[in-house]
C-alpha cells in the first residue's frame, strides 16, 4: 500500500499527521504538487513536482495510484478517478471516498458548482479545525489498521 497526497491544497496540519503515521507504520508516502514542498528526510517520504496547470497533480496521482492505495484529497473528481482504479480516498476532514459514496458526492459537487456559478451559493468550506484533524486522524488510523490486516 502507498499513500498519495494531493499536496497543493492539503493543509499543513494534515501533512504532519501523515508524516507521523508514515514513520510509525512504515508506509510509503508521496506528496504530489506543482510547488516545492518541505518534507522530513525519510526513505519512506517522497515528493513529485509537476508542472503548473489545472488538474496536473490530480492527473499524475490518478495515473500512478494502484488498487489498495490511499489518496488524500478534497478533490471529488480525483477521488472518483482513484476509486474507479480500486483505491480509496480520504478527505482532509476525515470523510472516506469509496465505491459506495463517491458517485453521489460527485453529483452533489457538480450541483453546488452550478449553483455557485449562477450566483445562488457563495463561499466555501471553513478552515480545518481541531475536530477535523481528529476525524482525519481517526479515519486514517482505522484505514491503515484494516489494510494492515489484509496484507
pLDDT per residue over 75-134, tens digit each? 889 999 999 999 999 999 999 998 888 787 777 766 667 666 777 666 667 789 999 999
pTM of the model: 0.86
- Give CATH for domain 2-150: 3.40.50
- Spatial CB neighbours of 36, under 8 Å, sequence gap ≥ 6: 49
Q: What is the pLDDT of residues 77-92, one digit of tens each?
A: 999 999 999 999 999 9
CB 39 within 8 A of CB 45: yes
> Taken in order 71, 33, 127, 119, is the CA torsion positive or negative?
negative
Spans of all domains in the chain: 2-150
Amino acid at each position: 500500500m502507498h499513500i498519495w497526497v494531493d499536496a497543493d491544497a492539503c493543509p499543513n496540519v494534515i501533512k504532519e499527521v501523515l508524516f507521523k503515521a508514515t514513520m510509525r507504520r512504515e508506509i510509503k508516502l508521496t506528496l504530489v504538487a506543482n510547488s516545492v514542498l518541505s518534507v522530513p528526510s525519510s526513505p519512506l517520504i517522497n515528493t513529485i513536482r509537476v508542472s503548473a496547470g489545472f488538474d496536473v497533480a490530480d492527473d499524475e496521482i490518478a495515473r500512478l495510484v494502484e488498487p489498495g492505495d490511499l489518496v488524500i484529497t478534497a478533490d471529488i473528481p480525483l477521488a472518483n478517478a482513484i476509486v474507479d482504479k480500486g483505491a480509496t480516498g480520504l478527505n482532509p476532514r476525515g470523510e472516506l471516498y469509496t465505491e459506495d459514496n463517491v458517485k453521489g458526492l460527485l453529483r452533489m459537487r457538480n450541483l453546488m458548482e452550478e449553483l455557485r456559478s449562477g450566483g445562488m451559493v457563495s463561499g466555501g468550506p471553513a478552515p480545518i479545525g481541531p475536530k477535523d484533524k481528529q476525524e482525519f486522524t481517526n479515519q486514517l488510523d482505522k484505514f491503515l489498521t484494516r489494510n494492515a490486516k489484509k496484507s
